Every structure is written in C-alpha cells, then in structure tokens.
Structure 1
C-alpha cells in the first residue's frame, strides 16, 4: 500500500475529518496510526507524533509545510457534512 502520511497529535480525529471530507473509509487503525483509502489506490495516513506542533500559517518564521487543498461546489453543504 502506498500512502502519503501526515504527522499529527490525534490520528483518529484527523482521519475522521478527512475521511468524511473525501468519502474515504478506514483501511487500518491503531492508537498511533490511521490509514484511509480504497484497496489498490494510494491512501492517506495520519501518524501520532508526541509534541507535534501544527503549522502556523502565515508565519514567516515557519514554512507552510504540507497541506491538502480541497475544493467543493457548495461550501455550505460541505460544512454541514463535517
């Protein structure tokens, strides 16, 4: 399985949000890692990192790091789903 993984404080919460936003099921779950995706396709993983400090953007002292750009046709409907 190929995945793009994101460090975070709470993998379950991150997976809940992105799973709902992208309509992706959980393929694997442990206390420290959650993998979203579909069999045979790249997935999204969320890895617990103690002491993780989320990006603070815009902050000239720290780069934006990795992020996902998501677009929707109806922002209100998408927010209701979340």
Structure 2
C-alpha cells in the first residue's frame, strides 16, 4: 500500500457553496463533505474537488501575465461546443486563449470565481463511418 495517496484538489474562493454548485453541474457531481468553510464534491467519473473559503482569495489573471496562472484544471470532453454551452449556462466564461499548442483541440474558461480550466476534446475511439 502506498505511503501517500492523492487526495483532492482544493480551490480557494470567497463563496465555496456557490462554486461547488458550478462544478456539481459541470461534472454531474455530488457533495461528499460540507463544513462551514469547505465543500467537497465527487464527479461521476471519480474526480474529487474541494472549495475552501478564503475571503481574500484573488483569482489568477491568466492569460494576462500579472498574477499569472496559479493552477488550472483539465477536463476531457467529446463535444467541445456542447460542453461550452454547459459551462456558460452554469456561469463560467470563455478566456481569450486562441491557438493553444498541443495535439488536442482545447478551449480555456474561468469558473464563476475566476479559476481557469481547460476543456480538451478527446479523439473518438469509434471507427470512421463511410
């Protein structure tokens, strides 16, 4: 058995309850632990995130250089347009990050508290039709 196991990614924010609602909607998640200053959720695929109250939290300014990228999350999707509609419908916003290098098509967003994340399209494993 491993001495240290991966825990949970924790995002600081002013209102953890509201941010948890965004990620619950995005990840089809359920709350697993709630305290006065922290909400933890687990997505349908097992992804665990927690949101910790920090009234002085300052979101990163990525892609602008000041206050730089502190951390970001990558989520895999099959349909970028459908996923984008869901993100925006839940209160997220697209970030200006056109032309990101890499082997996968991806788009950058910010959650309602300003944390950046990326939706990356995973190539279909289905055989080509026609």
User: TM-score when scaled to structure 1?
Assistant: 0.76
Query: Contact between 1:55 and 1:64, CA under 8 Å: does it hold in 2?
Result: yes
Instruction: Mark the CA change 1:71 to 1:62 in structure 2 (over 3 Å): closer, same or farther.
Output: same
Q: Which has the higher strand share?
A: 2
Instruction: Mark the CA change 1:43 to 1:59 in structure 2 (over 3 Å): closer, same or farther.
Output: same
Deviations 1:39-61 (A, max 9, x none): xx562100011111111112222
Superposition CA RMSD, Å? 2.4
Structure 2 counterpart SS, 1:53: coil
Listed as ranges, the gaps of 5+ residues in structure 1 are none
Q: Which has the higher helix share?
A: 1
Matched positions, count? 80
The structure with more radius of gyration: 2
User: TM-score when scaled to structure 2?
Assistant: 0.52
Instruction: Tell me which of the two structures has the higher relative contact order, counting C-alpha pairs closer than 8 angstroms and 6 or more residues apart.
Output: 1
Cα distance, 1:70 vs. partner?
Answer: 2.7
Deviations 1:9-59 (A, max 9, x none): 111111111111111100011231000016xx5621000111111111122
